[in-house]
Chain A
Amino acid sequence: MIIPADPSPMRTPMGELSDAEGHLYDSVGRLAERGPFVEVLAEAATGLSAHYDGHTTTFQTPSRIRGAVFRAWTGTGWTEVSVSGLDAPSLRFAEGMIERVLSHRPAHDSPPGVSSTARLEKVTPTARPMRDMAEEEMGTLARDVFSWTTGVPDIHETQVQISWRQDERLYLNSAAARCLQGICRVRGAVLPVAMENGRVESDRFVHGGVGGREVLDALTPENARKAAESARDLLRAKAPPAGKLPVLLSPSLTGYFAHESFGHGAEADQFVRNRSYLQPMLGQVLAPEILTIVDNGAYPGAWSEIYCDDEGHPAQRTVLVDHGRFTGALHDRDTAAALGTLPTGNTRRSDFLSRAYVRMTNTYVEPGESSFDELVQEARNGVLLESGSAGIEDPQGGQIQIKARKGHLIENGKVTDLVSSMALSGRVLEFLTLIRGVSGKQDFALDTGACGKGRTDLLPNSAGGPYLLSSAVVGRA
């Protein structure tokens, strides 16, 4: 296929938030005269995604949707109104709705917690900005990646996805905070599908991060072919074992463990709701000394890097488990006030239409000192779980579920046969006590993904770590 050249440059909505800033500033100023605290978050996005599978080619830019959410303290609680538009009439409408609420409930007391006073302006730094990569170049890369997989026998088809999205957010509040951030998330994915006698198997290579064109440098012939060969090999994979076994988690699965256990379990809104089994154990030693778990919104280049959260608090590194001791939780201003601590920069909204929650960013297990081979020998007989595909938390019950697309048996201290998809289940507190090793920084990796609060409010999240050895129930899934 020949893609015609297009000389016209891509338009960008950069500056749209700056254009609206005067109106937003005026609205906040007027509302500040009616109540003790008001804030506004405005949002716009740009980007491009390409998809190629040998049959179809698709290009799509993010929706040209922009808008803002206003939140004000009424004296007894928060009220908020969202509008899909940054023009003066739309903002006046939202302002009027907030005014109406405040006039019925004259507020005197300040809201709980710490109001941000941060002043920050940052756009993702890169020498190779994605907006310089036009459709033609992106399409060529997608077809190249596709071609790297087609030489592998039994590969039936391959899906290639390349995308970038620059999310721009402007936060203003009546305490004089101003945070303008533009975060560019770039992602490349190769999904080969193998088929034989009606049996279908697939695997994938996915790499993403905050940055520019350099993120896509991971889309190499070697990585694409590895994914294709893995899909092909899965056609002959055995069924996984079932029962309680030593489990060696790959970096991807280790990330799921960190995210679903201490990530969700340490979101402090669950503490306030008395819904976290972990809350009474804050300060206690729950795991061997080799385990340290961190949430770090300031991790440079990670998929869920943010510069400030949606309450204007700068992103930070928060240690959740420090050498086995449960030491910290993730907070917004409300939960921090309720529990007598400070916000941790973890307040996030999916978009300007969605409410704010305490959310994770990049959550991971810090590297240990074991080697992969040592962990395999220590496991002796068990299963290596690889390529995480799904996980779900249980903040109240303290259970965990993680799914892997594939794995390998560990027999007599050696990695042996390939096995197909499986699920891991277990009680987190028991899993922690059974941890026998964490591999070193040479194995450390972060995934790209999305996380919901319950079933809704999806937003970009990342998790990872090195290899981790423990024991749990596994079974076919």
Chain B
Amino acid sequence: MSLSRPGDAVAFRVADHLAGKEPWEVFGERIRRYEIHLSGDKIEMTRGPITLEGYGIRVFRRRDGATGVGYQASNDFSPEGIATAEEDAERAARYALFPTAKLDLPTGRGATGGVVEVLDRGLWEYPMDTLESYVAALRAAFQGRKQFALSFGSVRATLSNTSISNSAGLRTGYGHTTVDLEVGVKAFGGPEGPAPGEYWLNDSERRSRPAELGVRVAEWCRYAEDVRRGKPPPTGEVSVVLPPPVLAGILPVVFGGRFTGSAQLRRVAPQPGMKLGAELATVYDDGRIPWAPMSSGVDDEGVPQRRRTLLDHGVVSELLFDTLHAGAFDARSTGSGFRAFSSGFRTWHRFMQPPTVSTSTIVLAPGEGGTDAELVEAAHEGIWIQQIGWSAPDPLTGAFGGEIRLGYRIRDGKLAESIRGGTVGGIALAAEGSPSLMTRLEAVGSRAAFSELVSSPPVLVRSLSVGGEQ
């Protein structure tokens, strides 16, 4: 989507006022946000429009064979305010140093990146109406479910106009939308039996899809009931099946921590040709998948996004670069310069942070493991992990794991009773020859699904450490 009034784009307006020397870059955003908060199934608070217009100025100053990089964000659009932000960036650049003298900023030509669908037009035009319809559908999906209820929830719609301009002549921009959903679903059961259980989920999508809530709510209710009845697992090394929601909490952080130019600068990146995964582990980074949260035509520096192969049948293929790290290694940017990724998605005041090299959507290529049932059958005995409290993977060591919020025993090739409690964990990505989640992949399912920053089928991992009560 093009900007409705390109000449009025935030970055272009600021760029027109820049008086300093080159090279420079301006990243701008005009953001509207709308929120509905629920307490139980009652609307607790409606917020919006929450408006924010801001920009970040980045300057690059060559010094002693390196580059001083300075950045300043501001929401002051007066000529004096822009001049102050520019002076702040210049001041930071005088003290900062990045080890490259080479800088290849994207130019205007070819930098639109083509169209990638990331804008929900209904939401863009009628944000609060769309949000209210979504919440109405959510509440309606609980009608008649006597033993289930919403315990709380929030739906937040963010509508952003992003614009990027630089001293190499780039002027590009696009609009995009995001819907963030958080809900707690409670299962009561009867007066006897276990206490209420809750299935608590967070999700982020590019569009509002209320029609799918009926099916999803039915699934969430089943999960809440299974949480309620779940018991801790036995202790041991067991086979586990990890579906996309669990992989979404692990893979982006560990691949983002090691498969990047910044990791290479720190000498912790794997070298192309190293064997870090099983033969059936092929992993891409793809920033052009329609409707994915990290997709867009261009990255946050204005470089077109594309698909990058990180692991090819278990072998390291390529690393990700933004413009600065590309300069340090005489490489080209892979369109992987993103802002404000570390604390979540890039939907909300990205302009406050300078870009750093990061993953977009991690794609684990489907394999020949078949359906979910066939994966369970292949596991024979083990655990299906549906939700981990917080995997909290370490981007450097690759260690991940946490409490099992919901899982299922696999007995004799079939899903059995639910699990609640205990721990599961291991190393996601380890040195060549060391055991890890990626090297112990025994089967990869055949049907991929999206979950936040990951597109993947479920995978069967032979042997992860489980801590339980027995």
Contact = CB atoms under 8 A, between A and B. Distances in A.
Interface of A: 1, 3-4, 6, 8, 11, 53, 55-61, 63-67, 77-85, 97, 135-136, 139, 156-157, 193, 195, 197-202, 239, 242-244, 269, 272-275, 277, 353, 355, 389-392, 394, 396-401, 403, 420-427, 454-456, 458, 473-477
Given A79-B46, A200-B398, A401-B403, 19 more contacts: A6-B91, A56-B96, A58-B92, A60-B92, A63-B56, A85-B75, A199-B434, A244-B469, A273-B40, A353-B33, A394-B405, A401-B423, A421-B394, A423-B403, A423-B467, A425-B404, A426-B421, A473-B469, A476-B423
B469 A475 contact: no
B7 to A, nearest CB: 22
A425 B151 contact: no
A193 B95 contact: no
Contacts of A474: 423, 467
A386 to B, nearest CB: 15
20 contacts: A4-B94, A53-B266, A57-B98, A64-B81, A84-B53, A97-B49, A156-B268, A198-B432, A242-B465, A272-B39, A275-B151, A355-B35, A394-B405, A403-B402, A421-B397, A422-B423, A423-B467, A475-B466, A477-B400, A477-B402
A81 B50 CA distance: 6
B84 interface: yes
A84 B267 CA distance: 41
Given A1-B97, A355-B45, A473-B232, A274 B151 contact: yes
B342 to A, nearest CB: 11
B423 A242 contact: yes
B98 A56 contact: yes
A455 B99 contact: no
Contacts of A397: 195, 197-198, 227, 420
A80 B54 contact: no
Contact of A353 (B40, B52, B70): B52
A458 B344 CA distance: 11
B198 A396 contact: yes
Most A CB atoms within 10 A — which of B95, B468, B469?
B95
B180 A193 contact: no
Nearest to A245: B467
Interface string B69-91: 11111111000010011001001
Interface in B230-279: 232, 235-236, 265-268
Give the 4 A-B CB pairs with smallest separation, nearest first: A475-B467, A198-B431, A477-B401, A477-B425
Contact of B467 (A57, A355, A394, A473): A473
Contacts of A391: 390
Most A CB atoms within 10 A — which of B85, B266, B389, B434?
B389
Contacts of B95: 3-4, 6, 57, 59, 135-136, 139
Given A79-B46, A198-B431, A476-B426, A421 B399 contact: yes
Nearest to A234: B397
Nearest to A6: B94
A156 B267 contact: yes
B235 A157 contact: no
Contacts of B198: 275, 394, 396-397
B448 interface: no
A396 B389 contact: no
B432 to A, nearest CB: 6
Nearest to B228: A397
Contact of B343 (A135, A458, A473): A458
Contacts of A85: 75
Contacts of A274: 40, 151
B245 to A, nearest CB: 13
B265 A55 contact: yes
Nearest to B234: A243
B225 to A, nearest CB: 13
Nearest to B33: A353
A193 B92 contact: no
A5 to B, nearest CB: 10
Contacts of B156: 456
Contacts of B56: 63
B397 A202 contact: yes
A3 B97 CA distance: 10
Contacts of B405: 394, 399
A60 B152 contact: no
B223 to A, nearest CB: 12
Most A CB atoms within 10 A — which of B265, B390, B403?
B403
Contacts of A59: 70, 92, 95-96
B196 interface: yes
Nearest to A450: B343
A30 to B, nearest CB: 21
Contacts of A81: 49-50
A401 B390 contact: yes
A426 B232 CA distance: 9
Contact of A401 (B197, B402, B434): B402
Contacts of A135: 91-92, 94-95
A455 B465 CA distance: 26
Contact of B99 (A6, A55, A269, A273): A55
Nearest to A423: B423
B54 A427 contact: no
A473 B396 contact: no
B423 A392 contact: no
B182 A60 contact: no
Interface in B97-148: 97-99
Contacts of B39: 269, 272-273
Contacts of B401: 403, 423, 475-477
A454 to B, nearest CB: 5
A162 to B, nearest CB: 13
Nearest to B77: A85
A61 B92 contact: yes
A200 B72 contact: no
Interface in B397-423: 397-405, 420-423
B45 A403 contact: no
A151 to B, nearest CB: 18
Contacts of B403: 392, 399-401, 423, 425
Contacts of B292: none
A182 to B, nearest CB: 20
A6 B88 CA distance: 13
B18 interface: no
Nearest to B344: A455
A444 B346 CA distance: 38
B449 interface: no
A275 B44 CA distance: 15
A422 B403 CA distance: 11
B354 interface: yes
B217 interface: no
B112 to A, nearest CB: 28
B397 A201 contact: yes
A55 B37 CA distance: 45
Contact of B45 (A8, A78, A277, A396): A78
Contacts of A424: 423
Contact of A355 (B47, B49, B51, B352): B47
A65 B390 contact: no
Interface in B352-405: 352, 354, 389-390, 392, 394, 396-405
B265 A473 contact: no
Nearest to A420: B399
A64 B73 contact: yes
Contacts of A8: 91
B468 A63 contact: no
B184 interface: yes
